[in-house]
Structure 1
Amino acid sequence: MARPRTPILSRELIRHTTLRLVDEHGLDALSMRKIATELDVRAPSLYNHYANKDELLDDIAATIAENVDVSGFAGDDWQDALRTWAHSYRDALAEHPNMVPFLASGPSNRPVALVRADAVHGGLTRAGWPPRTATMIGASIKYIVVGSAITSFAGGFIDDIDTYNERYPHLSQAHRLREYAAEIDQDSFELVLETFLSGLTLQYAALDTR
């Protein structure tokens, strides 16, 4: 029997193709018809695997969330657990920046994301943080991570020195920021994360966790 011209359609192949299209063209340009065209199939074929585009994107979001490490919350070092979670969370988002708006919409009904949210909250409350504060800590880490993944501060500057000369005396080196954008953005993320953790450590010392 001759081999088919196109690969056999599967959820994994659809996810992989869709994520590549999102990485290349963004969420706004995505449609089930475009995915089908890329796979060289008719759009109705996709609906045998996914009810709609949102269900497909939810499945992709779950796959990305699997790379977020919350294993540290099973232990006793809540600071290190937060640090590991934040780094792996940012890495997962930074790998697919065009998916960030969808991923940032919250855990919704995605079991993978809810399991991780449960691990974070459970680890913090077991460490002695009040439930409300634990919720705010989780939210704050999300703000830090999503903000750093969705945009580049340094990359927003153009590399034309004439733009900043004379008119903006305190930005005389701003034209160099784009060249070092990745380094500056990474170090800025580390700065805000470590500053946040230092502040939490002071608050924790004032808690009665006996």
Structure 2
Amino acid sequence: MARPRQVLLTRERIVEAAAALVDAEGLDAVSVRRLATELGVAGPSLYNHFATKAEILDAVADAVIAEVDISAFGDNDWGKALRSWAQSYHAVLSAHPNIVPVLARGPGRNPAALGMADAVYGALIRAGWSPSRATHIGALLRYLVTGSALGSFALGFPEDPELYAHYPHLHHAHHLAEHRQRVDEGAFVLGLETLVSGLESQLQSEAER
């Protein structure tokens, strides 16, 4: 009888399986044993590709970052490029919110994340920002994007009208959850536009001095 074919295990298959678990059930669902079961292999075989669970989650995070569109940074209009990148970044993280706590730790040694950081920093330097200010701007935009993906402002208010009886300015707060997307997306767009417009005005003022 012919031997049964062995399942071909690759880093890509492990990352895909881990990403699906993270999206569906959260970070705690990921374990070497669970991934081995999902992939139909023996647990120890995963260690031929990743030394730890943390390495697997880093690879998932980097695969998510690889979905972010950074192509706008080839444009000379740095403000337009920042807006385009931040909107893509926000959309990708909103589609994969469970991986955001891993992403919030920073790029580490992950190539896609380092490539994105390099693209943002390079665009800011070419625009005329000092290295220190470019670093501040990149960090500030990352705070805005990751923070907006970590939770929902609208869902923070329970749908209980009686709860707000003693809070005169919150009479309609119980309706916020009904308009979650409009509230949360609107807040992100307002924050991004306010931030980038302010930066554009600041750089122009500095150039005119």
TM-score (ref. length: structure 1): 0.91
Question: How far 1:192 sits from its partner (Å)?
Answer: 0.7
In structure 2, C-alpha distance between the alignment counterparts of 1:70 and 1:108, rounded to whole Å = 19
In structure 1, C-alpha distance between the alignment counterparts of 2:130 and 2:12, rounded to whole Å = 41
Q: Secondary structure at the match of 1:171?
A: coil
Report what 1:205 is aligned to. Answer: 204
Letter in 2 for 1:115: G
Report what 1:146 is aligned to. Answer: 146
User: Is it true that 1:117 corresponds to 2:117 in the alignment?
Assistant: yes
In structure 2, C-alpha distance between the alignment counterparts of 1:38 and 1:88, rounded to whole Å = 30
In structure 1, C-alpha distance between the alignment counterparts of 2:49 and 2:114, rounded to whole Å = 23
Report what 1:76 is aligned to. Answer: 76
- Mean Cα deviation higher: 64-73 or 186-195: 64-73
Report what 1:106 is aligned to. Answer: 106
Report what 1:182 is aligned to. Answer: 181
Q: Conserved in 1, the CA contact under 8 Å of 2:7 and 2:41? A: no
Give the number of the structure whose residues are more often helix, by fraction: 2
Q: Deviations over 1:139-161 (max 9, x none)?
A: 11001001100010001111122
Report what 2:55 is aligned to. Answer: 55
Q: Deviations over 1:63-99 (max 9, x none)?
A: 1111112222222101111001111111111111110
Structure 1 residue runs without a partner (length 5+): none
In structure 2, C-alpha distance between the alignment counterparts of 1:130 and 1:178, rounded to whole Å = 42
Structure 2 residue runs without a partner (length 5+): none
Q: Secondary structure at the match of 1:47?
A: helix
Runs of 4+ off more than 4 Å: 1-4
Report what 2:94 is aligned to. Answer: 94
Report what 2:19 is aligned to. Answer: 19
Report what 1:66 is aligned to. Answer: 66
Identity, % of aligned positions: 50
Q: Conserved in 1, the CA contact under 8 Å of 2:7 and 2:40? A: no
- Residues 92, 69 of structure 1: alpha-carbon distance in 2 compared, 3 angstrom cutoff: same
* Cα RMSD (Å): 2.0
